[in-house]
Structure 1
Amino acid sequence: MTDSLLRIEDLHVEIAGRGRTVHALDGIDLDLAPGEALGIVGESGCGKTMTALSVLGLLPGGGKVTGGRILFDGPRGTADGPTDLAAAPEPVLRDIRGNTIGMVFQDPLTSLNPTLTIGAQVAEPLLLHTRCTKAEAWEKAAETLRLVGMPRPAERMKNYPHQLSGGMRQRVAIAMALVCEPRLLIADEPTTALDVTTQHQILELIDELRERLGMAMILVTHDLGVIARRVDRVAVMYGGKIAERAAVRPLFATPRHRYTQALFAALPERATDGAQPLATIPGLPPSLVTRPAGCRFAPRCGFATDHCRTTEPELTADGAPGADGHTFACFHPADPAPGQDPTAEIRPAAPAAPPAGTGEPLLRLDGVAKTYPLHGGPFARRRGAGAEVSAVAGISLTVRRGETFGIVGESGCGKSTLGRMVVGLEAPTGGTIHFAGRDIATLTKRELRAHRRDVQLMFQDSYASMDPRMRVSAVLREPLVIQGIGDREEQTRRIAGLLDDVGLPRGAVDRYPHEFSGGQRQRLGLARALALSPSLVVADEPVSALDVSVQAQILNLMRDLQRDKGLTYLFISHDLAVVRHLADSVGVMYLGKLVETGPAERVFARPLHPYTRGLLDTVNAPDPDAEPAGTPLGGETPSAAAPPSGCRFRTRCPAARELCATAEPPVTEPETPGHRVACHFPLISEPAGDGAVPTAGPVQ
């Protein structure tokens, strides 16, 4: 342990319950040096989080360590030897949790106590692990919140978790983990489902604090872009085992295990064009109720042989057993030639035919606005009666039949509110929404019922949108019954056809939503949206929290169904790579306003609005050597209850001028017809070819 802060040796974890035992971890070996950052990646269910929870003795009910050791170096400033956390009694673990090892959990809203103020929760570890007074703990908590970039920390100390945004809650979770200045920080999916700017700010914050405090870190994630420039080494997990270990640059440059290679190939960034299907990994990860024979990835691997199915590979370095360097457990590793794309050989060979659309307008929004009154609460006290939130402010756009129109922007920009108005779940407070030439506000009850058959919503959280007491058959039959479509026999045939369309077995009708994986539930959500044969599907963040492999399956499925059924998508997402791959046109929203629209490739290649440029510069590219093309977005989004005058983006815009504060920018087409921007001083490309660099300048 002289050179290791944490060493995990041959760790085995089992979880018993409901008459079966899951072998969650099967012989994990990892080590972490002081100050080092280790990334653990893989699909859901591969054992990433279980490894992290094992370190702190926080296994779920029925879980226990059945073999191996977890050696953690003694507390700073003591002469104690390493502690075996796998065998340590609960008092020892309680002294270590939050003190010498801090943990940031995946969902800050559920990990924070809703009945306690932020200040009380950040101060709690100090009161438990140190001898400071309540006043000293409160002062240190405020200082830590300031350290993690919380705006107005003294004021936020009195808030409750539900009063903060997702990014702020994540900052609180980080402050709780760091307030005792631990030697090791474990971050479990700290940026899942956060928008690109909040994600970038959180990751930059963790990097800065690690360097300042000299901490080691274990970063658990399924996002390959997150680990690319944030860790020193990476462990790829599959089926409760380590599939590959390497320094971050060699892993990204030359992935050796076929599973690692397949994960990289499934990235939207690896598709050569939007019409090409994404590479996917067939099948599902093993259930781990029984220990599979041979290589655990063999049933899903296109290179597997009979030897792979009967013999388990060991972690080796180019065929020789070794514990250091680039090791992998694969009998048929990838071996790309220098300069060759290491994922090219498993990418789909032929591009898919693009969806056929008529090009006629299907959906048109003219000046659509949505405001919400504020009754009571801190906003109303400051602003008086009549205060309101401007969620959507004058949106105008056209979606053509058969196309995919992407809506992107940060959390709170009004994307989901806009989608809910299109499907009729919210009524606009201004403007008009025309669908198939009809103003939906003028529809009778019978016509509105027919409209809801033609426009369906694919919810962000497919699990929360389904009744957990209903079987799949009832979930899919419900819209058919409400709309009076067919008798029971016809409905049963239609349900079977829907399951075929989304790639689920017909036997799934007898199961409940909780019995499916995240990707399968998203397929069910898509099946329910298609039950009434709609013309338009509003997809609200349908792949935001999915593994890259499952995400690729869902995106390919949506593209195939669009081609086969002539669907039109309004695709809402904060993932710019996904939107760039799937969308034909794109609209960029900021604080309720549409700041830029146009063909997707044009908007992403030559953005005209500084906000769009900032979003693109903030994306975590899955490339350790990628340098930022510009300046990532900074600052906090203003409140929608008190938006800035003039241009709403001016408070964060590096090119803002006096005019931006006094006049709302007009919508213009400064370069290409159809590429519109709402900016006084758009980014103009110099006419020097495709390599032109956008520069800020007024439009004459």
Structure 2
Amino acid sequence: MPTTQPPGPVPSGESPLSGEPLPAHEPLLSVEDLHLSIAGRDRAGAERTVHALDGVSLRLAPGEALGLVGESGSGKTMTALSVLGLLPPGARVTSGRVLLEGTDLAAAPDQVLRRIRGEAVGVVFQDPLSSLNPTMTIGAQVAEPLLLHRGVSRAEARERAVETLRLVGLGQPGERMRNYPHQLSGGMRQRVAIAMALVCEPKLLIADEPTTALDVTTQHQILELIGELRERLGMALILVSHDLGVIARRVDRVAVMYAGKVAEQAPVARLFTSPRHRYTQALFDALPERAAGTSRPLATIPGLPPSLTRRPAGCRFAPRCAYATDVCRTEEPAPRPADDEGVHTYACFHPADPAARPAAPGEARPAEDAPASPGTDADVLLDLDDVRREYPLHSSPFTRRRDRRLVSAVAGVSLTVRRGETFGIVGESGCGKSTLGRLAVGMEKPTGGSVRFEGDDLATLDRAHLRAHRRRVQLMFQDSYAAMDPRMRVGAILREPLVVQGVGDRAAQEERVRGLLDEVGLERGAVHRYPHEFSGGQRQRLGLARALALAPSLVVADEPVSALDVSVQAQILNLMRDLQREKGLSYLFISHDLAVVRYLADRVGVMYLGSLVETGPAAEVFARPLHPYTRGLLETADSAVVDSAGETAVDGAPEAGPAEGAGPLAGETPSAADPPSGCRFRTRCPLATELCATTPPEPTAPAGEGHLVRCHFPLVPVAGSAG
């Protein structure tokens, strides 16, 4: 790994692998009419073949970044893994080629693929733990590719591993070399995975959903790191993601995939401003950013992607497309150019009009679409007053020293949730959002302050009354599958809360289950199936149905849509809004996705290291943030709103203007076991002074009643500036 002057981008006329002259048009990677099938068996044991890829063609120039987007099952990951030959059992390439500098990897023997992996092509997976060995130190794992591919000594491999860890921004790399994966945070583990992928200076990096499980600031840091290293090392990049905001900022070109085929390819700015394929247009219409600040439901894509066990006739998107005609159902559209240069292609018989720009955020909607108004201050459902939650830091069994420190997970939070409203909680991982949710439902008791629900202090309730309280408040989890017993059928899972609470007889309970399935849009026959037989979106509908079984007044939704595709996410958010209107539900909605919270929430609270630093109406907080942390979150988030010049808007489009110190968040969140004195954000705040170090800020309302901020130096709009 170079130490002083890393190589710049590889010239287009030079091979990045051999260094020999190549024709200017020669790509680094060329996928040509690739067909991939996976043989297996269905639930009845009968043989079946899934046609995972059907005629995929892609080209990637040296140093270029290509984004692959589409719904789950569209073929994004299978296309990326075909380059490395890392195919699942039963999968094989039936036709087509995958050329890396002229070498067909689809037909290459295993010894060639083993040489390519890690040396010429690096890969970063979604879950770093899946690529890290829990029994090996970080140093051994980062050095291993050098020992395998470069034949260097162990001392040199260690030296280069330390250097690479420093290059990817991992603090104290020499010390981290001795750590094991479980001793690192999620963001640190992902940096280690990137170091492993880059230590042999590959010419192509494949990043498959590398930031899906990370919060907005860690995601920003990881993606910025990948972009910087790509430019320094002259790497090409294939970025697989279902997050359109990530794709908008991070790649040069985009390929939109659907049902194993490429529906559309274009430069990123052209695709986001003038999509031609109806599927691409439908994905953009489903974005929460498109409906931010309005009361209209999100656009959704009806139906489900087709089964790939047989090749559908005609256009694969036709059954879900509002513009489909008979020709779409009988003939398969061929890719056609959308411009004279041929850089924008699409496969659609009835393309979108390029002059019809996507709906702008904040578009007004009819009054009849408006949701029911939230309750007033006199109609408070949940009231948290100076709530604190601390946990003892357990001592290591391998040391004699006893650790008496406390982890301050929630530090003096006060908020109210009214009947019929959605209160959003946003913040980085580890800020205390989920702990606050558990306190709200009574799963945990506060170590200070009070949690009142409909006037009852949960800390004073006896067991019987607390059990009755649980009927009024329910949880909706991020991973609905993990919250269900895989050995139980759906009917039993939905009946279980009714049985535990003694609600009705068996016949009444079964009728209630059928009604719940109707409410969340699932067929009644689902009661006989197991959780693994449903898609992710369907399982999240089941999670919502279970939360509604006891007719609660409040649902605490903890990251309920973070792992879903944009189209499925839109369906769940619309369903939650519809049920809120019908039943007068209140939501405490916890998420790190700012666009989702801005769309769904009436009011929002911003948490940092256990403290609520800003609260107010969602539209007001996102448009005119007062706390530097809130502003930093908005500046850090990737947005899928792109202008004609290819520039992406800040998520939420703050109107406060360029404040001093504005910009993406930098630095790491301090430990909750040893929080900073005074203002907890001061160690990362560009406006911090000695006052911030000595005096905790009190809540003030510089922008008017209802919009509170805990900051000694709240941001104010700059006169005459544009947001």
Deviation at 1:294, TM superposition (A): 0.4
In structure 2, relative to structure 1, the CA distance for the partners of 1:268 and 1:645 (3 Å cut) is same
- Which residue number corresponds to residue 229 of structure 1? 249
In 2, are the aligned partners of 1:23 and 1:240 still within 8 Å (CA)? yes
Distance 1:83 1:220 in 2: 23
- Which residue number corresponds to residue 95 of structure 2? 67
- Which residue number corresponds to residue 425 of structure 2? 407
Amino acid of the structure 2 residue aligned with 1:532: L
- Which residue number corresponds to residue 386 of structure 2? 367
Deviation at 1:109, TM superposition (A): 2.2
In structure 2, relative to structure 1, the CA distance for the partners of 1:528 and 1:99 (3 Å cut) is same
Deviation at 1:357, TM superposition (A): 3.6
Deviation at 1:234, TM superposition (A): 0.6
Distance 2:344 2:457 in 1: 61
In structure 2, relative to structure 1, the CA distance for the partners of 1:323 and 1:466 (3 Å cut) is farther
- Which residue number corresponds to residue 511 of structure 1? 529
Please, which of 31, 35, 47 is the counterpart of residue 12 of structure 1? 35
Matched, 1:312 2:344: no
Distance 1:382 1:5 in 2: 57
Q: Which residues in structure 2 correspond to 1:123-272 (within 5 Å)?
A: 123-271=143-291
Distance 1:381 1:368 in 2: 33
Distance 2:360 2:487 in 1: 44
Amino acid of the structure 2 residue aligned with 1:254: S
Deviation at 1:692, TM superposition (A): 7.2
Distance 2:626 2:249 in 1: 28
In 2, are the aligned partners of 1:265 and 1:279 still within 8 Å (CA)? yes
Deviation at 1:140, TM superposition (A): 1.2
The DSSP-based 3-state class of the residue aligned with 2:716 is strand
- Which residue number corresponds to residue 12 of structure 2? none
Amino acid of the structure 2 residue aligned with 1:120: A
Matched, 1:85 2:101: no
In 1, are the aligned partners of 2:336 and 2:345 still within 8 Å (CA)? yes
Residues 553-593 of structure 1 show CA distances to partners (whole Å, capped at 9, x for unaligned) of 11110000000011000000001111000000000000010
Matched, 1:525 2:543: yes
In 1, are the aligned partners of 2:295 and 2:365 still within 8 Å (CA)? no
Residues 95-141 of structure 1 show CA distances to partners (whole Å, capped at 9, x for unaligned) of 11111100001111233222222222111111111111222212211
Amino acid of the structure 1 residue aligned with 2:70: G
- Which residue number corresponds to residue 645 of structure 1? 677
In structure 2, relative to structure 1, the CA distance for the partners of 1:112 and 1:36 (3 Å cut) is same
Please, which of 437, 446, 456 is the counterpart of residue 438 of structure 1? 456
In structure 2, relative to structure 1, the CA distance for the partners of 1:332 and 1:600 (3 Å cut) is same
- Which residue number corresponds to residue 312 of structure 2? 292
- Which residue number corresponds to residue 473 of structure 1? 491
Residues 438-489 of structure 1 show CA distances to partners (whole Å, capped at 9, x for unaligned) of 0011111111111111110001111111111111111111111111111111
Deviation at 1:375, TM superposition (A): 1.5
Deviation at 1:64, TM superposition (A): 1.1
Residues 184-237 of structure 1 show CA distances to partners (whole Å, capped at 9, x for unaligned) of 000001111321111111111001000110000000011111111211111000
Please, which of 553, 566, 590 is the counterpart of residue 584 of structure 2? 566
- Which residue number corresponds to residue 684 of structure 1? 716
Unaligned runs of 5+ in 1: 74-81, 694-700
- Which residue number corresponds to residue 17 of structure 2? none
When the two chains are superposed, the root-mean-square deviation of aligned CA atoms in Å is 1.9
The DSSP-based 3-state class of the residue aligned with 2:592 is coil
Distance 1:453 1:72 in 2: 59
Distance 2:63 2:250 in 1: 13
In structure 2, relative to structure 1, the CA distance for the partners of 1:53 and 1:670 (3 Å cut) is same
In 2, are the aligned partners of 1:406 and 1:587 still within 8 Å (CA)? yes
Please, which of 23, 29, 41 is the counterpart of residue 69 of structure 2? 41
Matched, 1:328 2:346: yes
Please, which of 350, 354, 360 is the counterpart of residue 371 of structure 2? 354
Amino acid of the structure 2 residue aligned with 1:355: A
Residues 508-533 of structure 1 show CA distances to partners (whole Å, capped at 9, x for unaligned) of 11111111111111111111111111
Distance 1:470 1:547 in 2: 26
Aligned length: 677
Distance 2:440 2:336 in 1: 55
In structure 2, relative to structure 1, the CA distance for the partners of 1:164 and 1:403 (3 Å cut) is same
Residues 290-322 of structure 1 show CA distances to partners (whole Å, capped at 9, x for unaligned) of 11110000000000001101110011114x9x9
- Which residue number corresponds to residue 30 of structure 1? 58
Distance 2:366 2:258 in 1: 29
Distance 1:424 1:160 in 2: 35
Instruction: Answer with 369-378 or 396-405: which moved more.
Output: 369-378
- Which residue number corresponds to residue 76 of structure 1? none
- Which residue number corresponds to residue 115 of structure 1? 135
Instruction: Answer with 514-523 or 151-160: which moved more.
Output: 151-160
Deviation at 1:402, TM superposition (A): 0.7
Residues 664-685 of structure 1 show CA distances to partners (whole Å, capped at 9, x for unaligned) of 1111111210111111111123
Distance 1:563 1:13 in 2: 46
Residues 123-163 of structure 1 show CA distances to partners (whole Å, capped at 9, x for unaligned) of 11111111112222122111111111112222222222222
Deviation at 1:350, TM superposition (A): 4.6
Distance 1:590 1:302 in 2: 44
Residues 624-644 of structure 1 show CA distances to partners (whole Å, capped at 9, x for unaligned) of 313666411111111111111
- Which residue number corresponds to residue 597 of structure 1? 615
Deviation at 1:384, TM superposition (A): 5.2
- Which residue number corresponds to residue 698 of structure 2? 666
Unaligned runs of 5+ in 2: 1-21, 42-46, 651-657
Deviation at 1:336, TM superposition (A): 3.4
In structure 2, relative to structure 1, the CA distance for the partners of 1:71 and 1:387 (3 Å cut) is same
The DSSP-based 3-state class of the residue aligned with 1:482 is helix
Distance 2:400 2:35 in 1: 56
The DSSP-based 3-state class of the residue aligned with 1:144 is helix
In 2, are the aligned partners of 1:356 and 1:563 still within 8 Å (CA)? no
Amino acid of the structure 2 residue aligned with 1:202: I
The DSSP-based 3-state class of the residue aligned with 2:179 is coil
The DSSP-based 3-state class of the residue aligned with 1:427 is coil
Structure 1 length-normalised TM: 0.94
Instruction: Answer with 120-129 or 496-505: which moved more.
Output: 120-129
Distance 1:589 1:357 in 2: 22
Residues 389-422 of structure 1 show CA distances to partners (whole Å, capped at 9, x for unaligned) of 1111111111111100000000110001110111
Matched, 1:342 2:342: no
Structure 2 length-normalised TM: 0.91
Please, which of 366, 385, 391 is the counterpart of residue 409 of structure 2? 391
In 1, are the aligned partners of 2:276 and 2:346 still within 8 Å (CA)? yes
The DSSP-based 3-state class of the residue aligned with 1:208 is helix
Residues 77-96 of structure 1 show CA distances to partners (whole Å, capped at 9, x for unaligned) of xxxxx211101111111111
Distance 1:362 1:692 in 2: 39
Distance 2:303 2:310 in 1: 17
The DSSP-based 3-state class of the residue aligned with 1:103 is strand
In structure 2, relative to structure 1, the CA distance for the partners of 1:249 and 1:139 (3 Å cut) is same
In 2, are the aligned partners of 1:279 and 1:348 still within 8 Å (CA)? no
Deviation at 1:329, TM superposition (A): 0.4
The DSSP-based 3-state class of the residue aligned with 1:169 is helix
Amino acid of the structure 2 residue aligned with 1:464: A
Please, which of 117, 122, 144 is the counterpart of residue 102 of structure 1? 122
In structure 2, relative to structure 1, the CA distance for the partners of 1:21 and 1:63 (3 Å cut) is same
Deviation at 1:620, TM superposition (A): 0.8
In 2, are the aligned partners of 1:265 and 1:344 still within 8 Å (CA)? no
- Which residue number corresponds to residue 663 of structure 2? 631
Deviation at 1:348, TM superposition (A): 11
- Which residue number corresponds to residue 15 of structure 2? none
